[in-house]
Amino acid sequence: MSPAQRTLYRDIALVCLADAVVGASFGATATAGGLPAWVPIAMSLFTFAGGAQIAAVTIVLAGGGPVAAVAAGGLLNSRLLPYGFTVADITGTGPWYRRLLGVHFTTDEAVAFAMGQRTDRDRRFAFWATGITLFALWNVATVAGTIAGTMIKNTGAFGLDATFPAVMLALALPTVTDRRTGAAAGTGAAAAVALTPVLPAGLPVLVSLGGLAWLWRGRRDKAAPTAAGAASPGNGGHD
């Protein structure tokens, strides 16, 4: 093994271990909140996307409907759409079962590690190493979390309820890359909190998307119609 490969292995292992902590917290919080253990386990197996799983379960635990949960989780994972195009040369070749697994293993982590490599061979290697390790650890951690969640009776005393918002905040902060996005996210979050007492659970988070209006502020002359048209193919995927 070359030193570069050894560093790559180590980085992949560290990132996957960090995700395992989140996976365990997901399993524990979902079961402690009253969901049967198979729900978080099935979600980790078949959805395999931390942010979307946590968003959907947060909404359900807050009393929101399944439609709002799927809409929020789905929209959050719309970023997988551009990822799919980015790694299509890796996931779009080989026998059908390998393509199927490649598609399912398309995550922030696998795409990031693959893009960090120079040659096609290294990209392929980094993608699969991350995908397989993450899938294994994420699901084992979820199961371990559900066991802990069903055993812990007083979850409040352990501060378990603070882990989901902490994960989402830590995921949100790096995505706020410019002032317009910051304004949109700040306004949206403030509106969502203000509307929580009056709207049915799950809706305030969807209403917060109105904050996106900031993106078009001050460039209505020409950019707005183009942007609205450009957004439609991406939005079509939510139906």
DSSP 154: -
Cβ distance to another protein smaller for residue 85 or 97: 85
In this structure, how many other beta carbons lie within 10 angstroms of the beta carbon of residue 66? 11
From the CB of 101, what's the least distance to another protein, in Å? 11
- Which residue from 9, 11, 13, 80 is in contact with another protein, where contact means CB under 8 A? 80
- Which residue from 8, 12, 19, 114 is in contact with another protein, where contact means CB under 8 A? 19
Binding mask 195-234 for another protein (x = CB under 8 A): -xxx--x--xx--xx-xx--x----------xx--xxxxx
Number of residues that bind another protein (CB under 8 A): 107
- Which residue from 8, 12, 27, 55 is in contact with another protein, where contact means CB under 8 A? 55
Cβ distance to another protein smaller for residue 147 or 209: 209
State the helix-helix crossing angle for 3-32 and 38-46, rounded to 10 degrees: 150
The two tokens of residue 169 are 């905040």
153 to 182, contacts with another protein by CB under 8 A? 156-173, 175-176, 180-181
- Which residue from 4, 7, 66, 120 is in contact with another protein, where contact means CB under 8 A? 66
CA–CA distance, 50 with 71 (Å, rounded to integer): 15
CA proximity to 50, closest of 71, 14, 24: 24
Cβ distance to another protein smaller for residue 4 or 166: 166
Q: Which stretch binds another protein (CB under 8 A): 3-11, 42-50, 126-134, 138-146?
A: 42-50
Does 188 interact with another protein (rule: CB under 8 A)?
yes
CA–CA distance, 21 with 18 (Å, rounded to integer): 5
Does 3 interact with another protein (rule: CB under 8 A)?
no
Question: Could you tell me which residues come within 8 angstroms of residue 21 by beta carbon, excluding any fewer than 6 positions away?
Answer: 141
82 to 121, contacts with another protein by CB under 8 A? 82-88, 91-92, 99, 102-104, 106
CA–CA distance, 205 with 55 (Å, rounded to integer): 10
Max distance between CA atoms of the chain, in angstroms, equals: 59
CA–CA distance, 51 with 108 (Å, rounded to integer): 10
